[in-house]
């Protein structure tokens, strides 16, 4: 039996209680995307200000469960101040470690750092979509993709 | 009558022995995450008694053949069992004739059938279909599809903050352009029991036919379609301890007779030429293709099972559970029950301050408690109460008062995790 505390780590609960960069749409934000998981009802807007290939600022709005909210909050901290390629690499690492599709989990682990608290979600397959929603939304915003992102 | 059913009949004169009932359900006796399962998601689907499981197995082991086709022994047995299943449904809901019982996949297909075969040929631009704010998506979207095709308009009876239909609004909206009313007998998201008897009478006073979505009502109360007088009644087998993939559309014979087929194919025709075809008589006109024979046989076993216990006794047992759960959850700190109608089926929907229903669902699951979390396919209801989702505990004939204690203890664990 996996321990509930592996899922609801203190860091997750803290970011759920007081999400960082939330609710926030930074002045000058030029990349936006909408993420929505209709079965859950989790819904976020992600806003990024990208200048010269650098994510200068980031924020999110919306509401969801503890896992999706904490993951969104951690995402904003992880990509703020990073170059777009770095932000994309972190997105890929989080995606890989949660879905384990590529077998690159170990390599991804090194990139994660503080984000490794999200790894506990892997033992809860029904909740992986919660943890990845904000990340896919951020990815879509950087790619300037239109339409609503979903991970269901 | 099988030995299992006979055994259950024996208890029907004694006090309601829930532990004896539980012994009939193999799935209840398991552990999840290392703790005993407490299954409180009966509104989504019910577990199956051994009699239902064995009826399906028996069919596949001995009688498996297509129906209404071969002249061989197995086909005759299969056909007889399938027809017997239809008769058992007819008796269960007291329809006037077995020609009024159409086997479908479930409530959703039944409503789509009525929308397409009854609604589409009749509806004209500006005609109105009257539904309610309480409906499951299955009693909303089929009408939207037919409205888009015909130019008809959907009107919605609003609800109060207790989750009861506004009957005054129903009467007001029931107008000269109303062509059909479609309403659930019991709300799946809130448990509200709607006053369908008065609604049917009021619709008929205006000459308007009415469909009842009975998916959430059928496991909890005796339904008599003739006494109700409804024109259509739809329900699913799997919510009344039967198999998935089998359901029933009841329709008054004159209405079904006048409707064109829903799907074309084998089984539903009398004669086929390339110039045209003649339809089979009711109910086969609406049953194109090989039907779910094992499902119908399983439903028959499920009906025998609940009838042997008695729906009145089931309702009484479940009412006790509802009262206990309502009282325990009303006192729970930071918890709000959503849907407080005066008359409810045995389910409680609730929200907890500061904790999203999906987090509640995961933590309850860890303690063996299975509940539904989400919008319950009733997004307009969630919108009314300004919540994205709720947690729903829904009780069945095998649930116990001790299981409600486990639920409450598990909810305390949720608070512990989130407020540590």
* CA-based nearest distance B360→chain A, Å: 9
B162 φ, ψ to 5°?
-85, -10
What is the number of other CB atoms lying within 10 angstroms of the CB of residue A95? Answer: 20
Cα B103-B221-B295 angle, rounded to 5 deg: 25
Q: How many angstroms separate the CA atoms of B350 and B404, rounded?
A: 14
Catalytic positions of B are 377
Q: Is the dihedral of CA B397, B402, B408, B414 positive or negative?
A: negative
Chain B contacts to A (CB-CB under 8 A): 33-34, 355-359, 362-363, 366, 374-375, 382, 388-389, 417-418, 420
- pLDDT at position A1: 44
Q: How many angstroms separate the CA atoms of B274 and B261, rounded?
A: 18
A28 φ, ψ to 5°?
80, 5
DSSP β-bridge partners for residue B247:
B104, B236
Residue A82 has pLDDT above 70, yes or no: yes
Residue A105 has pLDDT above 60, yes or no: no
Residue A41 pLDDT class (50, 70, 90 cuts): confident
Chain B nearest-CA residue for A42: B388
Question: pLDDT under 50 in chain B at which residues?
Answer: 1, 3, 6, 9-10
Question: To which residue do tokens 């006192």 refer?
Answer: B331
Q: How many angstroms separate the CA atoms of B150 and B125, rounded?
A: 6
State yes or no: ipTM above 0.85. yes
Contact A41 B375 (CB under 8 A): yes
Q: Is residue A67 within 8 angstroms of chain B, CB to CB? A: yes
A119 compared with B329, residue with greater pLDDT:
B329
- pLDDT at position A101: 62
Residue A107 pLDDT class (50, 70, 90 cuts): low
Q: How many angstroms separate the CA atoms of A87 and A52, rounded?
A: 14
Q: Is residue A63 within 8 angstroms of chain B, CB to CB? A: yes
Fold of A4-143: Sufe protein. Chain: A (3.90.1010)
- pLDDT at position B334: 95
B103 φ, ψ to 5°?
-80, 130
Domains in chain B, ordered, with CATH? 3-41+310-418 (3.90.1150.10), 54-307 (3.40.640.10)
CB pairs under 8 A between A and B: 47
């Amino acid at each position: 039996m996996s321990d509930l505390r592996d899922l609801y780590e203190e860091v997750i609960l803290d970011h759920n209680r007081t999400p960082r960069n939330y609710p926030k749409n930074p002045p000058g934000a030029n990349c936006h995307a909408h993420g929505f998981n209709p079965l859950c009802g989790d819904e976020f807007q992600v806003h990024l200000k990208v200048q010269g290939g650098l994510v200068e600022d980031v924020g999110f709005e919306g509401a969801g469960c503890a896992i999706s909210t904490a993951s969104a909050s951690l995402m904003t901290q992880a990509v703020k101040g990073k170059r777009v390629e770095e932000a994309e690499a972190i997105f890929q690492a989080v995606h890989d470690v949660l879905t384990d599709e590529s077998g690159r989990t170990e390599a991804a682990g090194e990139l994660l750092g503080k984000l490794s608290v999200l790894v506990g979600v892997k033992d809860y397959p029904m909740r992986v979509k919660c943890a990845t929603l904000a990340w896919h939304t951020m990815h879509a915003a950087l790619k300037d993709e239109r339409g609503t992102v979903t991970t269901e | 009558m099988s030995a299992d059913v006979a055994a259950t009949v024996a208890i029907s004169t004694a006090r309601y022995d829930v532990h004896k009932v539980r012994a009939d359900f193999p799935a209840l006796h398991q552990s999840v995450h290392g703790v005993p399962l407490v299954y409180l998601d009966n509104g989504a689907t019910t577990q199956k008694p051994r009699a239902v499981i064995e009826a399906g197995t028996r069919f596949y082991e001995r009688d498996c053949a297509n129906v209404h086709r071969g002249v061989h022994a197995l086909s005759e047995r299969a056909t007889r069992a399938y027809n017997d299943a239809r008769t058992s449904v007819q008796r269960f809901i007291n329809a006037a004739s077995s020609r009024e019982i159409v086997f479908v996949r479930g409530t959703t297909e039944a409503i789509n059938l009525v929308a397409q075969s009854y609604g589409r040929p009749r509806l004209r631009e500006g005609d109105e279909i009257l539904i309610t704010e309480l409906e499951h998506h299955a009693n909303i979207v089929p009408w939207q599809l037919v409205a888009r095709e015909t130019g008809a308009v959907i009107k919605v009876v609003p609800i109060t903050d207790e989750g009861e239909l506004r009957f005054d609004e129903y009467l007001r909206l029931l107008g000269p352009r109303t062509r059909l009313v479609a309403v659930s007998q019991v709300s799946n998201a809130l448990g509200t029991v709607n006053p369908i008897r008065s609604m049917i009478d009021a619709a008929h006073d205006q000459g308007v036919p009415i469909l009842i979505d009975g998916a959430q009502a059928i496991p909890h109360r005796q339904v008599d379609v003739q006494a109700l007088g409804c024109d259509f009644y739809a329900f699913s087998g799997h919510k009344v301890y039967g198999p998935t993939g089998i359901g029933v559309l009841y329709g008054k014979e004159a209405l079904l007779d006048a409707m064109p087929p829903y799907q074309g194919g084998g089984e539903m025709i009398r004669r086929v030429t390339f110039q045209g075809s003649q339809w089979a008589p009711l109910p086969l006109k609406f049953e194109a293709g090989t039907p779910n024979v094992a499902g119908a046989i399983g439903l028959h076993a499920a009906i025998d099972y609940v009838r042997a216990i008695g729906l009145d006794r089931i309702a009484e047992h479940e009412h006790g559970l509802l009262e206990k759960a309502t009282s325990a959850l009303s006192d729970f700190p930071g918890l709000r029950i959503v849907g407080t109608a005066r008359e409810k089926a045995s389910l409680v929907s609730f929200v907890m301050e500061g904790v999203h229903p999906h987090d509640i669902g995961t933590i309850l699951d860890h303690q063996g408690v299975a509940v539904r979390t989400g919008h319950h396919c009733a997004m307009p209801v969630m919108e009314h109460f300004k919540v994205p989702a709720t947690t729903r505990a829904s009780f069945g004939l095998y649930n116990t008062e001790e299981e409600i204690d486990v639920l409450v203890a598990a909810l305390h664990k949720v608070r512990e995790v989130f407020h540590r």
